[in-house]
Amino acid sequence: MRVPRTILRFVAAVAISCTLFHHSLEAVPITGEITFGGNTTLDTNSLRTATSVTQFRSVQTPQTMGVAGGLSVVEAIGNFSSIPINSFAAFTAPYTFNPSSAYPNFWQVGGFNFNLLSATVVTQTSTFLQVRGTGIFTSNGYDPTPGTFLLSRSANDVPFTTAFAFAPAAIPDGGSALLYLGIALTCLETLRRRGEKGSRGEKESRKGRGQS
């Protein structure tokens, strides 16, 4: 039995419409990188023995005191670029990184969330702590996207002791080492710049008070 052409055209039109509708509903993965800065209180007085962060505090500026309960956005790239620099991001505390623990909604800012899945201590000395881990980024209009993070904590007495960088990990296997290296360099450079600014500010303040 022959099917009338009008029915065939109708079926084809419905199939095309369904395909277009399906593609319109498909979200896209989150891309870019976001870095937070501020200060953290640890569960011990030594970086060497610390196992958790008991408090996050945002960056202290000449205009505002650091706010407890989160960190400040210091860099936002890609899909995160809509988030203004210095925005306050709420972080879950206490946060235990050793042993590794999962934290749903570990942080939230600008409509983005990060669900922390695991963490591994990379470096832990009396002067420097570095923890890396994995998790899932979520946001309206995007697919849940696997990601990585690197927490860098310095013992130096500067206004900015902690850098926490996060990046979606939509990369082939074998590229994770490069990704971690990039995030680590971002963290270290952020800490270095903040330390230099803090040192210059202190010197200028001393000059203003007539101190050497």
Handedness of CA 84, 86, 41, 56 (dihedral sign): negative
What residue ranges do the domains of the chain occupy? 30-208
pLDDT per residue as tens digits for the range 14-38:
333 343 333 445 669 999 999 999 9
Q: Which of 9-13, 135-139, 150-154, 167-171 has the highest mean pLDDT?
A: 135-139
* Rounded percentage of the chain residues whose pLDDT exceeds 70: 62
With tokens 């979606």, the residue in question is 168
C-alpha to C-alpha distance for 195 and 176, rounded to whole angstroms: 28
Confidence of residue 65 (pLDDT cuts 50, 70, 90): low
Burial class (CB in 10 A: 0-12, 13-18, 19+), 100: middle
Supply the pTM of this predicted model: 0.71
